[in-house]
Amino acid sequence: MFGAFRRYFSTDLAIDLGTANTLIFARDKGIVLDEPSVVAIRHEGGPHGKKVIQAVGREAKAMLGKVPGNIEAIRPMKDGVIADFVITEQMIKQFIKMVHPRSVLTPSPRIIICVPCGSTQVERRAIKDAAEAAGATAVYLIEEPMAAGIGAGLPVSEASGSMVVDIGGGTTEVGVISLGGMVYKGSVRVGGDKFDESIISYIRRNYGMLIGEPTAEMIKKQIGSAFPGSEVKEIEVKGRNLSEGVPRSFTISSNEVLEALTDPLNQIVSAVKNALEQTPPELGADIAERGMMLTGGGALLRDLDRLLAEETGLPVLVAEEPLTCVVRGCGMALETMDRRQGSIFTSD
Ligand SMILES: Nc1ncnc2c1ncn2[C@@H]1O[C@H](COP(=O)(O)OP(=O)(O)OP(=O)(O)O)[C@@H](O)[C@H]1O
């Protein structure tokens, strides 16, 4: 009876608290928030004074690299886990406030939140604590590959192997799922952020120019690729010339970006090959037949599916709307959590 009452007034939420983006799914509503995981802080009364939140999400991201001395734009998540606890808690609070109108009748939400499968117990505890401090009555954790697999529509409950490779901003998570459980899970702290860093250092080394993270991300999205293609693309970029100290323009090609990305791409290929080596043969046969599913924003890097297909000899599919797979999977878990036995959640 209480369950029915709760469902009627349900404010339960599923959160993909990502290194790059935070998405929130509300029961019966779908995705209600999709914002960059960025917070702008204003320091009042000097460096040891009060810290006041100036902006969160999109508004704060627009400030990255452009803020005056007393404002700091921070990404409080790094490699998929909390790098700054206080700011992360504040960020979750603000995001929940944006989607969760509180009144006397609305019960505090139960929250499903996803965690990288390579995160430590301490890191998971920190994520749980941050959600509780932000007002959740109960917090359930789900591992990212499981959520991504559900969101991508893989038959995770069946007795057959499904392989998902979720390439986010901070981590790449590889999972092999069968009968609603993770038979293999692996995580490397390489993702879209490492791609951006590699582009920044390539340009510094080869052009003597300094560019910021937003420019590197723009280069990656516009002309980045993971496999040599027939079409070479070019883009004009502005940066600071390190020897002259003044802004200059230069042109970079997609082949150069591919060269810059070699190292992080190799790490992703190794993570996938590792997973295949450690997958039980019966499930490996299912994967050989049906292929692996790519999710996460990194899956949008041009020809990443082709690289993985060439390297493994297996079919590779890119999920529909890879950026929202994890939160949609969390959302489906939320919709069915009162009926499920809870096996898809992780206990620590
Ligand atoms: N078209 C694109 N091409 C290449 N990369 C892209 C594209 N669109 C988004 N990305 C990258 O995807 C990453 C964000 O993906 P996503 O939102 O899945 O990560 P996240 O969930 O925040 O991170 P994590 O799962 O590691 O915590 C960013 O690095 C972004 O630059």
Q: What is the ipTM of this complex?
A: 0.98
Host domain of residue 296: 160-190+263-323
| pLDDT single digits (tens) 204-215 | 999 999 999 999
Contact 276, 286 (CB under 8 A): no
Q: Is the residue at 155 inside a domain?
A: no
My answer on whether 206 and 234 are in the same domain is yes
Asked which of 238, 258, 278 is the last residue of a domain, the reply is 258
Task: Say whether both 140 and 27 belong to one domain.
Answer: yes
- pLDDT score recorded for residue 242: 94
Residues 64 and 86 in one domain: no
Provide the number of structural domains found in the chain: 4
Note whether 69 and 84 are same-domain residues.
no
| 224-263: pLDDT as tens digits | 999 998 789 999 999 999 999 999 999 999 999 999 999 9
* Ligand 1 pocket mutation, candidates 15, 16, 19, 295, criterion most atoms within 8 A of CB: 19
Question: 21 pLDDT band (50/70/90 cuts)?
Answer: very high
Asked whether the beta carbons of 74 and 39 are under 8 A apart, the reply is yes
Report the pLDDT averaged over residues 270-295. 96
Is residue 1 pLDDT above 90, yes or no?
A: no
- 175 and 303 housed in the same domain: yes
- Tell how far the Cα of 244 is from the centroid of ligand 1, in angstroms: 34
Pocket lining: 171 vs ligand 1, CB cutoff 6 Å:
yes
Are 9 and 106 a contacting pair, CB within 8 Å?
A: yes
Domain C-terminal end among 236, 258, 280:
258
Same domain, yes or no, for 274 and 333? no
Tell whether 16 and 93 lie within a shared domain: yes
Residue type, 43: H
Q: What is the mean pLDDT of residues 277-291?
A: 94
- The residue whose CA has the least distance to atom 25 of ligand 1 is 168
Of 121, 115, 97, 68, which Cα lies nearest the Cα of 326?
A: 115
* CB atoms inside a 10 Å sphere around CB 47: 8
pTM: 0.91
Judgement on whether residues 171 and 306 belong to the same structural domain of the protein: yes
Check pLDDT > 80 for residue 103. no
Ligand 1 closest atom vs CA 77: 27
Say yes or no: 267 and 314 in one domain.
Answer: yes
For residues 231 and 282, membership in a common domain is answered with no
Rounded to whole angstroms, the Cα distance separating 199 from 219 reads 8
The answer to whether residues 177 and 289 belong to one domain is yes
